[in-house]
Amino acid sequence: MTGEKHEDLEIYNKQGEFLQEFYKLNDFLSNEQTYSILEQDRIDRFEQNIEPKLTEKFLDTFKRENERLSSMSIDNLGAASGEFTAILFQHLRKDYDLEIFYNNPELAQPLLECEKT
């Protein structure tokens, strides 16, 4: 790694440490743009990590019930699975991950700009 790249990385890390030390979750949530980033990250993490598992479990349960000759019947299984997942998502505790800003301090620029005015 060249000296210049190493210095850039060091500055980047210090910016992340600055954000971590001086800004709390409520600061990020109170800014419209940083809130939007946090919310999209939360949605993305849910869609990548939880939704596929929920869908698989939902479909497995439905399949098992049909194999048992259950009277359980759903006209549009995909839509029902999506509705089930959406209901769960709405009721989950909002878990925001500030690491996105600590690792990418440029994303916090709208918050920092707001502080200057």
pTM over cut 0.95: no
- In which band, very low, low, confident or very high, does the pLDDT at 82 lie, cut at 50, 70 and 90? confident
CA distances to 53, 54, 93, 100 from 50, in Å: 5, 6, 14, 19
pLDDT at residue 3 is higher than 60: no
What is the count of structural domains for the chain? Answer: 1
**Which residue did the predictor score with more confidence, 90 or 5?**
90
pLDDT of amino acid 107: 95
pLDDT at residue 90 is higher than 70: yes
Q: What is the pLDDT of residues 27-56, one digit of tens each?
A: 999 999 999 999 999 999 999 999 999 888
pLDDT of amino acid 20: 93
Domain containing 18: what range?
3-116
Rounded to an integer, the average pLDDT of 83-88 is 88
pLDDT of amino acid 47: 94
Task: Please give the structure tokens belonging to residue 97.
Answer: 């991950």
